[in-house]
Structure 1
Amino acid sequence: MSDNNTSGNNTSSTNQNHSQAKEALLQSHKNCISFVKKQLSDPVITFVLREIENMGCPLPNPFFRCERCLHSSLDKPKFSAAYVLGSFDKFDKDEQETDSDTIDTDNFFGKPGVLLCEDVMERYSKSDDKTVILHELIHAYDDCRAMINWKSCEQLACAEIRASSLSGECDFLHETRRGKLSGLRGQFMNCVKRRATLSLNSSAICGGQDNAKHVEDVFKTCFNDTEPFIKRI
């Protein structure tokens, strides 16, 4: 009888753990969606979205999507956010707003959009950090403007330089948090080069190449290109 009680307790405990885990996953999804919707009211974000559409690349609904990215026993994310390449469709913000709890992501791979990893979103939402979205929107802008060959390491280097320099991710506060400040002179450019190189190193296309050289070769031209902004924000 004691064994039966033990077995029953174990089953109850397991069910409770599964229920808690499911609730945690649902909450992380809701938090991610709330984060995205909040960022959609940011004037810089809305400006870039509008500029993309004004160039003739209407954005699909949903354009932003929240998904789990943890994929191994080590719980290492595939990526923190990614611009998924493909053809552009209409983006209807009002339609996205009709459901406050979910974003439909069925059959979405292969379409353009910004993917946010909801299982690591806490580190962004705590600091209300829009740079993760803005970085990817610069990629979307460049893809519309220049039809980038994303398999070219040189073109990818240019895209990463622009995204790192225009998203705000290399500003003083972010570099301080990373513990990367080694002096104010040239720190911003050093950050842009470092982060662009890291992005290329993690790329399936450019990994293993001399990506620091790819970045250096195109740095001046791409760094000085501040479109869609008149100047760096």
Structure 2
Amino acid sequence: MALDPMESSTTPAAGPSTQPETAFEKWRSSLAQLTGLGLNPVEAKHRDERLAQERLEGDWNQCEKWKTGLMKSSPAVVFMMKHLTLSGCPFTAASIQCHPCPPTRSGGFSPDHGILLCQDRFFSKRHMEDTIVHEMIHAFDHCRFEVDWGNLRHHACSEIRSANLSGDCKWTRELRRGFYSFSKQHQACVKRRAVLSVEANPNCADKAMAERAVNEVWDSCFKDTRPFDEIY
């Protein structure tokens, strides 16, 4: 079809198109943001801050999603929530909070603040389940037995019970840590992890003191499975 002579005579001649260059710049910019290559120091800093914030938000969202699901469907978590309520210390979702942590821990319990879940330290939902149960046993002990956390024997007993009853020392977890044995593996794990926790107590001078505290209460506390009927 022929062009209208009037239209062709009044339309300016098109210059070189800038569209390919614009598309290329968008591609180059997105690749630089993805890889970090070709960015100046200011751009690189902004990129790192943005990625760090996205990781924090992603970790928090995943942690909250798993936590909410476990509080509804995990038999062990639901069981512990029931017994905490019966002991006069009910735990709600607000009592279990997700936050970033150092790489050496996955959770914690504070009588004043509840349970901490280290949002960036869980390799599976089952790992989080074990951690929640572990910390809930500490909460149960604090509520039911009025634990003095500055007393190493008290602390040792609760650490023995938590490691023993939470699933923290099952064989697959120990294998992941690089520890495995076909004879008394569970007991060895419980004792080792209890000593590590007590050693971190500000009132503990050294590993020998932590080991002594754990050994002094071992027999009675390892046998104490409350509120479970047996080792979970």
Q: TM-score, length-normalised on structure 2?
A: 0.76
Q: Aligned residue for 2:24?
A: none
Superposition map of 1:138-149 within 5 A? 138-149=137-148
Q: Aligned residue for 1:67?
A: 99
Q: Aligned residue for 2:109?
A: 83
Superposition map of 1:111-122 within 5 A? 111=113, 113-121=114-122
Does the 8 A contact of 1:200 with 1:207 survive in 2? no
Q: Aligned residue for 2:193?
A: 195
Q: Aligned residue for 2:204?
A: 206
Does the 8 A contact of 1:160 with 1:196 survive in 2? yes
Q: Aligned residue for 1:14?
A: 45
Deviations 1:126-147 (A, max 9, x none): x554111111010011111101
Q: Aligned residue for 2:216?
A: 217
Deviations 1:205-226 (A, max 9, x none): 3252511111111111001110
Deviation at residue 166 of structure 1 after TM alignment: 0.2
Bigger Cα displacement from structure 2, 61-70 vs 8-17: 8-17
Residue type matched to 1:213 in 2?
Answer: R
Cα distance change of structure 1 residues 181 and 12 upon mapping to structure 2, 3 Å threshold? closer
Take 1:169 and 1:44, find their aligned partners in 2: how far apart are those partners?
13
Does the 8 A contact of 1:161 with 1:196 survive in 2? yes
**Identity in percent:** 32
Cα distance change of structure 1 residues 186 and 141 upon mapping to structure 2, 3 Å threshold? same
Cα distance change of structure 1 residues 9 and 194 upon mapping to structure 2, 3 Å threshold? closer
Partner SS for 1:130: helix
Q: Aligned residue for 2:131?
A: 132
Deviation at residue 61 of structure 1 after TM alignment: 5.4
Does the 8 A contact of 1:55 with 1:144 survive in 2? yes
- Taking only aligned residues, the RMSD between alpha carbons, in angstroms, comes to 2.1
Does the 8 A contact of 1:138 with 1:162 survive in 2? yes
| Superposed structure 1 runs of 4+ greater than 6 Å apart | none
Unaligned runs of 5+ in 2: 1-38
Unaligned runs of 5+ in 1: 1-7, 71-75, 86-109
Q: Aligned residue for 2:67?
A: 36
Take 1:13 and 1:179, find their aligned partners in 2: how far apart are those partners?
38
Partner SS for 2:120: helix
Cα distance change of structure 1 residues 210 and 170 upon mapping to structure 2, 3 Å threshold? same
Partner SS for 2:117: strand
Q: Aligned residue for 2:78?
A: 46
Take 2:40 and 2:196, find their aligned partners in 1: how far apart are those partners?
49
Does the 8 A contact of 2:108 with 2:117 survive in 1? yes
Cα distance change of structure 1 residues 14 and 56 upon mapping to structure 2, 3 Å threshold? closer
Deviations 1:178-205 (A, max 9, x none): 22113x2222111111110011112223
Please say which structure displays the higher CA radius of gyration: 2
Take 1:134 and 1:197, find their aligned partners in 2: how far apart are those partners?
19
Take 2:150 and 2:79, find their aligned partners in 1: how far apart are those partners?
28
Q: Aligned residues, how many?
A: 193
For CA contacts below 8 A with separation 6 or more, give which structure has more relative contact order.
Answer: 1
